[in-house]
Amino acid sequence: MLRMLLSVTTLSFILASHALAAGTAPTEAQLKRGKLLFTQCQACHQLKPGAPSVLGPNLAGLMGRKAATVSGFRYSPALRKANLTWDATTLDKWLQRPAALVPGNTMAFAGLPKADDRASLIAWLAAETAAPKK
């Protein structure tokens, strides 16, 4: 039973990461799910460029950005030293369990255990935090 559960989880992880890696456009359902999941983040994070960092750093322009580089936000030494660049792969690990990827970081969030939830949230975040098209 556990074995079956594990392989289902692994499969959905592979499917989700494949969709992101291949740059496949996220589905409506994924974006809706991602938006809903972000309600767990919005107490601490803003997405609009120029909005002040609150408990957590502003996430505007997140994809491709080096970790711990929003000026004016006091990051933990752990995240500053982590030498990470945010993309679908690093965000997936971070959101699964921040404390495992960067021990000693100060983001008070346990993590999202489901791979498809993380993929939905990352797809939604990527769209929401991209620079507005002119």
Q: How far is the CB of 13 from ligand HEC (least distance, A)?
A: 17
Phi-psi region of 50 (alpha: psi -120 to 50; beta: other; left: phi over 0): left
Per-residue binding letters, 16-55, with ligand HEC (x by CB under 6 A): ------------------------xx-xxx---------x
Size of the site for ligand HEC (CB under 6 A): 25
**Helices 2-21 & 88-96, crossing angle to 10 degrees?**
150
Residues in contact with 54: Cβ distance below 8 Å, sequence separation at least 6, in sequence order? 43, 44, 45, 46
Binding site for ligand HEC (CB under 6 A): 40-41, 43-45, 55-57, 59, 62, 67-68, 70, 75-76, 78-79, 86, 95, 105-109, 121
